[in-house]
Structure 1
């Protein structure tokens, strides 16, 4: 005769503890969905409720809604990761936060151009323009200034150079943030803008 260690008459608390021990057995929880699966199921349930609440959307309408949601998600992710990539490419700080002089930025630009790194040459030459404008008192020194702010603020102070400064800012954005290939002609145009700012 086998004697069980479970009493015949269980009290409420004893039964609860025995049930908790039994249900805590890994054999019972191995088929439970993980948090990602639960989240995915929740999203699908909400979409199902949305479609059912809309009077049962047709297949084409449902697909259109799903595609629109996917596009929105991709755009949001792209905007957020784009900021991260831009911050990483700029060294984490503002593009004009360095404490080099305009002449030092020019020298760095020339070294980069001589080495064939035209993107870095464009970046350093634009920094030279910004630092020159700051050294001459056209712009107040300010960390974290964007190229667009440079073009607008300096263009107001030097209206005769406003178009050239705007063009330099666009070139910088296209090369540094837009991923366009820097060209020697583009770099030379930036050198001309820098020469005019100095003159």
Structure 2
């Protein structure tokens, strides 16, 4: 007589118990995905769905994402750095100009020098007029006045673009240093020399590489 094993009925309680015991073995538990694996897979699927258009083409969606990122950066820069100026303003606005407030324009500095001269304050008149000369050349992008620039350094830089005024510029720097740092009394003659130099520089059509005066 041939004995044939009857297949186990998978719906029977005993078969289900065998299945649970089998899946509880360590090798099956080790292969079971962790919560981190499931979360990572969900995030990956979500990101993939963002970059897939209706027809499976990621191009349009990717372009939109790039545009939104660029727009966000522009808005952030606007709030952090403020509105960009349409017209170039002198870099002197952001720093001290030979130890004094640098937010004034060359015209304002000239007016301050003239006011001091009318009051007979030749020390202040010389200082403000020299600052007006430096601010004027910096505003025209002919000479850059960097933080910590001294009067002598400015004169040297200016002489490189206006060589015919080299001596006058050096004398102007000496006049400024004398009244500013050496406590020398200013004179009307020194002030008038600075005014004349400033006027000549304003009229000069100076050409430097890549820059129009």
| Distance (whole Å) between structure 1 residues aligned to residue 97 and residue 192 of structure 2 | 27
Structure 2 residue aligned with 1:128: 132
Q: How far 1:186 sits from its partner (Å)?
A: 1.1
Instruction: Note the alpha carbon deviations across 1:91-132, whole angstroms, 9 max, x for none.
Output: x98436512111000000011111111100100000000001
- Relative to total residues, which structure has the larger helix share, 1 or 2? 1
Q: Please tell me whether residue 164 in structure 1 is matched to residue 168 in structure 2.
A: yes
Give the TM-score normalised by structure 1: 0.51
Q: Which runs of 5+ in 1 are unaligned?
A: 1-91
Give the TM-score normalised by structure 2: 0.48
Structure 1 residue aligned with 2:180: 176
| Distance (whole Å) between structure 2 residues aligned to residue 96 and residue 157 of structure 1 | 25
Instruction: Note the alpha carbon deviations across 1:45-85, whole angstroms, 9 max, x for none.
Output: xxxxxxxxxxxxxxxxxxxxxxxxxxxxxxxxxxxxxxxxx
**Residue of 153, 156, 168 corresponding to 1:152:** 156
| Distance (whole Å) between structure 2 residues aligned to residue 125 and residue 148 of structure 1 | 15
Q: How far 1:142 sits from its partner (Å)?
A: 2.3
| Distance (whole Å) between structure 1 residues aligned to residue 193 and residue 97 of structure 2 | 26
Q: How far 1:143 sits from its partner (Å)?
A: 3.0
| Distance (whole Å) between structure 1 residues aligned to residue 187 and residue 172 of structure 2 | 13
Structure 1 residue aligned with 2:115: 111
Aligned residues: 108
Taking the TM superposition and a 5 Å limit, the aligned residue runs for 1:50-65 are none
Aligned-residue CA RMSD (Å): 1.7
Structure of higher RCO (CA pairs closer than 8 Å, 6+ residues apart): 1
Instruction: Note the alpha carbon deviations across 1:129-154, whole angstroms, 9 max, x for none.
Output: 00011011111242331101111111
| Distance (whole Å) between structure 1 residues aligned to residue 103 and residue 149 of structure 2 | 14
Structure 1 residues 101, 119: closer, same or farther in 2, change over 3 A?
same
**Residue of 142, 156, 164 corresponding to 1:138:** 142
Structure 1 residues 174, 102: closer, same or farther in 2, change over 3 A?
same
| Distance (whole Å) between structure 2 residues aligned to residue 94 and residue 135 of structure 1 | 16
Q: Which runs of 5+ in 2 are unaligned?
A: 1-95, 204-213
Runs of 4+ with >6 A deviation: none
Q: Which has the larger radius of gyration?
A: 2
